[in-house]
Amino acid sequence: MPIIQGAITLLLFVFILGTLVILHELGHFVVARLAGIRVHEFGIGFPPRARVLRSKGETLYTLNWLPIGGFVRLEGEDGESSDPRSFAAARLRTKLVVLVAGVAMNLLLAFVIFFGIAWLATPQGRLVIGEVQPGGPAAVAGLVAGDAIESIEGVTFDVLPLTRAFGDARAALRARAGQAVLLGVRRANGTAEEVRVTLRPPDEAEAKGATGITIGAFEPTGTYGGHDLLAALGDGAAWTADAFGLIVNGLGSLLSSIVTSPTTAPPVTGPVGIAVEIGDVFWQYGSIFTLYVAGLLSANLALVNILPFPPLDGGRMLVLVLKAVLGGGGRLLRRFGVPVRGPSAATTISIERLAYLVGFVFLFGFLAWITFFDIARQLGGGGAP
């Protein structure tokens, strides 16, 4: 059944990524309409056009053949229009709000996904013991490598977010340093029992660990819990912040890799790698973990799009600000007494279009570069041949 499984994985990838991009574009669309900017088309998927879904009013709603994502076509978004309701004619702050709305929509979606998981279906997990220190508290209590700790004093562990699961369990043990605690243990043979372990005192726990074990893995148990509404709201915000931290660290590693080792596989994945990872998560861990990955991708889309690089939303915002400052012969700077002559309006538009073209070519090349390594990984190369 590998073909069927692969087809389902592909459909799942297209659905998740397409939904994230459509919601991003929906943010632009809604705010543009609220601001009175004329919207010519809201498209689901990318051209060529498959069919018109609705043609009443000034906006055309279309379904297009390329299924990943969507787009919004605004009057005057290329910088030229005589229509007073065009994007070009809108005030600077209105343009910036329209552009940032897509980022805000993805950020909101990430928060909603994380909040929903924390509130309704938080996966529970167990700490699988990798090593046991001879003579340590765990060894004295009879714990061995391969056993798994499922609870501490009856309190189970949340697997998500992945960045905090180990830390929460470690903190729970160190907070009880010097005490005898009851651990829910799943033996390597599958039997469950409760084991009382007297933890090391605080000074020893800081240096050697409270239990004298090394955790080999943190695996799901297939059970789910949930937090109360207020706690889940806080969790949603905290998980979103954690996701941003992961992405920022990933971008830093990517830049370092490009500078130091441009011919080796980058520490990020492109569309092929993302599709494979979504499939792995879905088939191994189920829908809740897949939804969590969708939340990470939504946060990733928000952060990447706000980067000040054309033609990303952040880059378009930067260009608009520079146009406002330098465009029209440097009119805004001269208003504040700065003696400068910037480019004419026509020249500014030409520069803007060139910046978007160069940025698009660069991004396309970057995507192709990452995809090459994605395919190499799947073929077993792991890097440049």
**Separation CA 15–CA 9 (nearest Å):** 10
Banded model confidence at residue 173, pLDDT cuts 50, 70, 90: confident
pLDDT at residue 187 in the model:
93
In this structure, which amino acid lies at residue 144?
V
Report the pLDDT value the prediction gives residue 332, as an integer from 0 to 100.
Answer: 52
Q: How far apart are CA 181 and CA 322, in angstroms?
A: 62
How many whole angstroms separate alpha carbon 79 and alpha carbon 66? Answer: 27
**CATH 3.40.710.10 is held by the domain 122-225:** no
Is pLDDT larger for residue 30 or for residue 330?
A: 30
Can you tell me the distance from the alpha carbon of 293 to that of 16, in angstroms, rounded to the nearest whole number? 10
Highest-confidence segment of 105-114, 175-184, 195-204, 264-273: 105-114
Residue 111 predicted with pLDDT over 50: yes
Each residue of 195-221: b (16+ CB within 10 Å) or e?
bebebbeeebbeeebbbbbebeebebe
The whole-number pLDDT of residue 102 equals: 96
Mean pLDDT calculated for residue range 300-328: 85
pLDDT on residue 383 = 39
Q: How confident is the model at residue 163 (pLDDT cuts 50, 70, 90)?
A: low
How many Cβ atoms are within 10 Å of 100's Cβ, its own excluded? 20
Percent of the chain at pLDDT exceeding 70: 86
| CA separation, residue 104 to residues 27, 96, 140 (Å) | 7, 12, 53
Q: Does 337 score more than 70 pLDDT?
A: no
**E strand spans, the chain:** 39-54, 60-74, 122-132, 148-152, 155-158, 180-186, 192-198, 213-225
> Among 253-257, 332-336, 353-357, which range has the highest average pLDDT?
253-257
Helix (H, G, I), strand (E, B), or coil: what is residue 286? coil
Nearest to 155 by CA among 175, 183, 176, 179: 183
Q: Which residues of 117-147 are buried (b: 16+ CB within 10 A; e: fewer)?
A: bbbeebbbbbbbbeebeeebbbbebebeeeb
Other CB atoms within 10 Å distance of the CB of residue 90: 20
Task: Confirm whether pTM is higher than 0.75.
Answer: yes
pLDDT at 329 over 50: no
- H/E stretch holding 120 reads helix 92-120
| Structure letter (DSSP) for residue 123 | E
